[in-house]
Amino acid sequence: MDADVFISLSHFKGHEMTGFGGAIKNIGMGCGSRAGKTEQHSNGQPSVDESLCRGCMRCQKECANNGLVFDKETKKMHVDLEHCVGCGRCLGACNFDAIAFNNNNAIEVLNRRMAEYTKAVIDGRPNFHISLIVDVSPNCDCHGENDAPILPNIGMFASFDPLALDQACADACLAATPLPNSQLSDNMAHEGFVDHHDHFKNSTPESEWKTCLEHAEKIGIGSREYEIIVVK
């Protein structure tokens, strides 16, 4: 990358795969080339559980890669593995939990690759990062069908360390009270709800975010320790 200094500005929100999208996700995925984005996602391709699929075709509208094919006879959706790039957008689009990744490690590998791409972007150049915890949607901003915020607006966080920033933002979100009429509060009200004591996981149980921060620390992006300095 041809830049003397790197400054990131991220919308901190939930994410259907990585739990949340903050600085590391925005930098690693956002600065990745098209091939790089595909490579980060490439460890997982989903499949459709036909017994759960209701043929609503909502997932197909979210796929930009012609990765989903609808069988008009059976009225069930199928994944076309030739075209699917494993981006995971269809998982968040299905309201019936009919789509899941075949590879259980897919999200962990994605998390680690995001951290590595971030390291490649910021390594060796001064960098500074800002995250806005506002309108914390349950899914990534790339989802056209995104839902109401799951958490209240918390504010703007900034740091020279993107890892400390993500950790501080995540902790602030975990300490917040879920908003009513959101995916998170609706999930928590379901009969048989399993409490993960983690708003991101309670919002999207199949998501996972800790492996990203653990790996980011291991490869030297920064520290998960932080001190909050409040500016008014």
Q: By CB under 6 A, name the binding residues for ligand SF4.
A: 46, 48, 53-59, 62-63, 65, 67-68, 77, 79, 84-90, 93-94, 96, 98-99
Write out the DSSP string of 114-171. Answer: HHHHHHHHHTTS-EEEEEEE-SB-SS-TT-TT--S-SB---EEEEES-HHHHHHHHHH
**In the complex, least distance from residue 49 CB atom to ligand SF4, rounded to whole angstroms:** 8
**In the complex, least distance from residue 222 CB atom to ligand SF4, rounded to whole angstroms:** 30
Instruction: Give residue 14's identity as a one-letter amino acid code.
Output: G
**In the complex, least distance from residue 224 CB atom to ligand SF4, rounded to whole angstroms:** 30
**In the complex, least distance from residue 3 CB atom to ligand SF4, rounded to whole angstroms:** 30
Cα separation of 50 and 53, whole Å? 5
- Residue at shortest CB range from ligand SF4: 67
- Of 108 and 166, nearer to ligand SF4 (C-beta) is 108
- Of 27 and 94, nearer to ligand SF4 (C-beta) is 94
In sequence order, which residues have a C-beta less than 8 Å from that of residue 230 and are 6 or more positions away?
A: none
- Of 68 and 133, nearer to ligand SF4 (C-beta) is 68
**In the complex, least distance from residue 230 CB atom to ligand SF4, rounded to whole angstroms:** 40
- Of 91 and 133, nearer to ligand SF4 (C-beta) is 91
In sequence order, which residues have a C-beta less than 8 Å from that of residue 156 and are 6 or more positions away?
A: 130, 131, 132, 133
CA-wise closest residue to 99 among 203, 181, 36, 16: 16
- Of 30 and 55, nearer to ligand SF4 (C-beta) is 55
**In the complex, least distance from residue 180 CB atom to ligand SF4, rounded to whole angstroms:** 25
Residue 1 structure tokens:
């990358």
Distance of CA 43 to the CA centre of its chain: 15
CA-wise closest residue to 201 among 21, 22, 15, 13: 15
Cα separation of 197 and 228, whole Å? 23
CA-wise closest residue to 162 among 216, 103, 97: 216
**In the complex, least distance from residue 87 CB atom to ligand SF4, rounded to whole angstroms:** 4
- Of 84 and 213, nearer to ligand SF4 (C-beta) is 84
- Of 85 and 109, nearer to ligand SF4 (C-beta) is 85
